[in-house]
Amino acid sequence: MDQLLAPLLLLEEGIIVLISIGLIIVGGIAAALFVDVKIEIGRLAYLWFLALSGLALTCSQFIWILTPIAAEFGLLSILIIIGMGFFVVFGAANYYASAARSRHICGRTTKAWIGFVPVANLWLVFKEGAAAADHDDETEGPVSRAVPDLIMVVGALAIIALTKYIEKSVDNIAYYDPNDSKVLIDLLSNAQSVEENFALEAKLSGPQLPVQIDEMTTVSEIEAEGKTLRITYDLAQDIGSLGPDFKLTLAEQQCADDMFANEIARGGTIEMIYRAPDGHIVETYYISQSDCKS
């Protein structure tokens, strides 16, 4: 089950956003079909619902921090279901609150769908309902009501601002590092073909090049060609030969679990080219399954 759902962790951000929106809508539809909303809520209550539910949904996504741990204990699929399930719950709760607000405005739940439309849902926030008539019967003056209402509005807006701050703060921060779990690395590697993994490695590494490994060696190029990942190293000086045992050292490095052990085990090859300062090739090494088994 973990391997079946692991590809979801590799989806692009845009696709994840679309899936999240879809799950929210599914939750709303399910609630509309199976939940009979009989209560009514006013504008302030609805505003506070938006503030608190938004904060809760944002905070719920910190569950992805547990991804490496869940993978190690074979609970990754459960974590993914829970993490995505929060959006369904949010959708159902949003329908309930929007339906209750709709009842307060027009006596029916028919306007609940507006709660799922950004900006348009402000109609549910500002539209007067039965609360306006109720205030006419109250003995409190408008000033005595306005002060606590203002405090409630400011409090809700502060929570909304806090939610936006949290979202912005973690926007470009990864919730987890796959290298924290060998099991997770294997799951993610197996979720894509060797060709896809090598192509992704080349794509992500390319913008960072050149990278100096030591005073003698600099990684200058990384290219993916089918099941072969070609890495070109530039040497600071022409040393003639890298020695008879150098390939064993390279094999030990590339066959490590945190490098390309998974891809090599599935038929991948690491081609390593060492180039002299004048451009001629000093040595070319190919690391394959036979080298990892030796």
184 assigned to some structural domain? no
Measured CA to CA in angstroms, residue 284 lies from 1, 3, 230, 287 at distances of 41, 35, 10, 10
If asked whether residues 259 and 286 sit together in one domain, one would say yes
71 assigned to some structural domain? yes
If asked whether residues 231 and 166 sit together in one domain, one would say no
If asked whether residues 171 and 268 sit together in one domain, one would say no
183 assigned to some structural domain? no
- The rounded distance, in Å, linking the Cα atoms of 290 and 270 is 12
Measured CA to CA in angstroms, residue 277 lies from 222, 232, 241, 284 at distances of 18, 12, 14, 15
**Residue whose structure tokens are 């924290």:** 180
If asked whether residues 82 and 122 sit together in one domain, one would say yes
Structural domain boundaries, residue 92: 2-177
Q: What is the pLDDT of residue 141?
A: 55
182 assigned to some structural domain? no
Residues of the chain with pLDDT under 70: 130-145, 294
pLDDT per residue as tens digits for the range 44-95:
999 999 999 999 999 999 999 999 999 999 999 999 999 999 999 999 999 9
Q: What is the pLDDT of residue 137?
A: 46
pTM beyond 0.85, yes or no = no
- The rounded distance, in Å, linking the Cα atoms of 225 and 245 is 27
Measured CA to CA in angstroms, residue 98 lies from 55, 127, 189 at distances of 17, 12, 43
Asked if residues 132 and 145 have their Cβ atoms less than 8 Å apart, the reply is no
Q: What is the pLDDT of residue 184?
A: 87
Q: What is the pLDDT of residue 132?
A: 52
User: Total structural domains in the chain?
Assistant: 2
